[in-house]
Amino acid sequence: MSRKAATHCFRSHCTSLLLITHYSVRITFLKEKLLARDDLIPAEGTIIDKQPNAFFKVQLDNTQHVVLAAVSGKMRKNRIRILVGDRVSVEMSPYDLSRGRITYRYK
């Protein structure tokens, strides 16, 4: 990868650290940024409301917490239908606990 391509790749991921000029520091920073996907918080809940564009409001079990959740890509691909009242499994990011991704619909 050329130096110019690495700079472009770096700029597309982060705009706050453009002043770093050392090549290895850029690659290390990009690798650390991509590890945040593993830190998802799993939860289960019930669909309480349907929103436009495949979004749903999910009330988590044993709490009053409501999450705005989207349907995951594999569920869209396999055309899994979700209705109000269904029990689902939700993954939430630790950065925003009010949004999530529906990964499984229980039968």
Q: pLDDT value at position 39? A: 86
Q: What is the DSSP letter of 72?
A: P
Q: What is the mean pLDDT of residues 69-94?
A: 96
Q: Any idea where the domains of the chain sit in the sequence?
A: 3-37, 40-105
Is 106 in contact with 69 (CB distance < 8 Å)?
no
Q: pLDDT value at position 107? A: 86
Summary mean pLDDT of the chain: 79
pLDDT in tens, 6-44: 445 444 444 444 444 444 444 445 555 554 567 899 999
48 pLDDT more than 60: yes
- On whether the pTM is more than 0.95, the answer is no
Neighbours of 4 (CB within 10 A): 8
Two structure tokens written together for 98: 């009010």
Name residue 100's beta-bridge partners. 69, 92
Homologous superfamily (CATH) of 40-105 is Nucleic acid-binding proteins (2.40.50.140)
